[in-house]
Amino acid sequence: MTWLIWRQHRAEALALVVLIAAIGAALVIVGQPMHDLFPNGASRCVPPTTDRACIVGLATLQQSYDFAAPMLALLNFVPLAIGAFLGAPLLARELELGTWQLAWTQAVPRMRWLAAKLVALAGLTVALGAAFTGAVAWFRQPLDLFGRFDITGFDLSGIVPMAYGLFAFAIAALAGALLRRSLPAYATAIVVFVTVRIAVATWLRPQFRAPITLTQEIPPGSRELRLAAKPLDWNLGEGFADASGKHFSELSSTIWEHKATDAGIDPATYLHEHGILRWITYHPADRLAGFQLIESTLYVGLAALLLALLVWRVKRRAL
């Protein structure tokens, strides 16, 4: 059975291994100069820092490697590619070619055949995802000094890429069983995966725990009108509010600041005299690991549900 699985899926497996190896090599080539900016280790240069070498390294990183984060953002397709490329042909290829009629009448029962394939290909999905996230984690070490709650720090590090890959694998495998064609299964996996990822990242993720909101008076003469989150925190928003806590829109905030300027009064003093408060809503940096665990559990749970539906269909219904 192992030999048969390898024979049927070796092209996809080898292509994905080459893809991950190429990505890893590219990240090493681009990332080594970033690491060289911090000879004593990037972890010793978390801002704010007074170390001269760290200050120079951070400035150079911001000025010369501003392309690094957008480049990494393009890699968000990799967990999808791994999962869908292995999952879509799992049943769809057998159904397209009609070979399921032969495969399921041999000595190996259909459920054992399916279980062996699911375990092997899902395991390969996780292994490739682990190799990928390891390469990204190394590359991102200098970038982590500016926070990890962004689309590359959160979505491409830790255990979440492996969970994304399993989710894509489950979608593609089930779509292949339902649609009986590999290409429509790929397309379905892409649409569903992207839709769910966007919904979770923009709607659910900020609500995994109640965010912290800090409101305070504006000290007269303060040079900073707005509150700022710490560099590693996830800033959900900041602005101004009245004494009752009602937030002003950005337009209203701008109007208040212009009124202060027109009156020739220091903006901070003007806002203080009118009872305007400043606020910020954020998630502290120490919630990152917990958020990643919650999101990974969510996607693994969805993958398990989809695979359970796949098993039910193969077991209970004629394909």
17 and 163: one domain? Answer: yes
191 and 225: one domain? Answer: no
DSSP annotation string for 95-137: HHHTTHHHHTTSSS-HHHHHHHHHHHHHHHHHHHHHHHHHHHH
46 and 171: one domain? Answer: yes
94 and 48: one domain? Answer: yes
Q: Which residue has the higher pLDDT, 318 or 134?
A: 134
Position 63 pLDDT exceeds 90: no
pTM: 0.88
Backbone angles phi, psi at 294, to 5 degrees: -60, -45
Give bridge partners of residue 281 from the DSSP assignment.
213, 237
Alpha carbon separation from 193 to 57, 75, 152, 170, 276 (Å, rounded): 38, 15, 17, 10, 44
Give bridge partners of residue 72 from the DSSP assignment.
none
Work out how many domains the chain is built from and give that number: 2
The residue segments making up the domain with residue 84 are 2-208+299-316
Q: How far apart are CA 138 and CA 231, in angstroms?
A: 20
150 and 244: one domain? Answer: no
Position 257 pLDDT exceeds 80: no
Q: How far apart are CA 127 and CA 79, in angstroms?
A: 11
- The pLDDT of residue 212: 94
Pair of tokens at residue 196: 């769910």
**What is the average pLDDT across 250-272?**
76
58 and 156: one domain? Answer: yes
Q: How far apart are CA 148 and CA 155, in angstroms?
A: 9
Q: What is the pLDDT of residues 84-131, one digit of tens each?
A: 999 988 887 776 655 555 555 555 566 777 888 899 899 999 999 999
Question: Residues 301, 302, 308, 310: is their CA dihedral positive or negative?
Answer: negative
Residue 294 included in any domain:
no
Q: What is the pLDDT of residues 174-224, one digit of tens each?
A: 998 888 888 899 999 999 999 999 999 999 999 999 999 988 888 887 777
Residue 292 included in any domain:
no
Q: Which residue has the higher pLDDT, 229 or 65?
A: 65
48 and 153: one domain? Answer: yes
Residue closest to 192 by CA, chosen among 73, 303, 287 = 303
Residue 293 included in any domain:
no
Position 169 pLDDT exceeds 60: yes
